[in-house]
Homo-oligomer: A and B are copies of this chain.
């Protein structure tokens, strides 16, 4: 069994982006990070994105509207950023406060600045195998983990657990594409699937993204499978200072010995998302500058 090291792969991508951005003469890529309110997880995510941007040489601008901002004012802010030619990418940090309409806010972003890849047009491009758009960061990160760990999906059965818009569906569409590295046969399971285990046992590559702690157990896995564990779940653990430990959607200790490759949690998919956000930002810059 081989661990797929998300920290290492993310660091490689960040180093590659740094080399690329350093070579850009004149204006550097710029991402605007919009964080509404003071949700502690959002504060920490945005800080991480700001730091990674700085490491690469991407300019970041942080905008911190008050938690009481109206939908109209938030959309006006987005419109202004859409029109601002010095801005390549815009990220509106999720979750927004409950009184705001998050899907409407995301749809308001200009598709060509939607480096988070949530815009309808960008998902449509993934379905249409049109590479000019932005792939959402988590599914894009999963494809990089597979490619950089030498996992070709061609002729293999990829089983995706979860049909979310931000992970399950786009990663299924990516795995299905005709391009090199993809070309998988794809099954998508979800909460309504009967006998999930009979399907996961057929997986050459299993992508677990259902948000249920340690859902995938050893009896659900074919020996030699590659597993990407997208889950990040908190499980009570009295031995920890915090009172909990982080675990994926896979019961790691029993499953990992069966696999040929597996991502750990943390340190697997997690670190990839910020790297892919930066990669999208550089892509937006290049499309914008060309």
Contacts and interface: CB of A to CB of B under 8 A. Distances in A.
Contacts of A185: 187-190, 192-194, 199
A127 to B, nearest CB: 5
The majority secondary structure among interface residues of chain A is mixed
Contacts of A173: 127, 169
Contacts of A192: 154-155, 183, 185
A54 interface: no
Interface string A170-189: 10110010000001011111
Contact of A127 (B127, B129, B190): B127
A230 to B, nearest CB: 18
B187 A127 contact: no
B187 A163 contact: no
A120 interface: yes
A176 B190 CA distance: 9
A15 interface: no
A12 interface: no
Interface in A97-134: 119-130
11 contacts: A120-B124, A120-B130, A124-B124, A124-B127, A127-B127, A154-B192, A169-B173, A176-B190, A185-B190, A185-B194, A187-B188
Interface of A: 119-130, 154-157, 163, 165, 169-170, 172-173, 176, 183, 185-190, 192-194, 199
A-B CB proximity, top 4 nearest: A124-B124, A120-B124, A187-B187, A185-B193
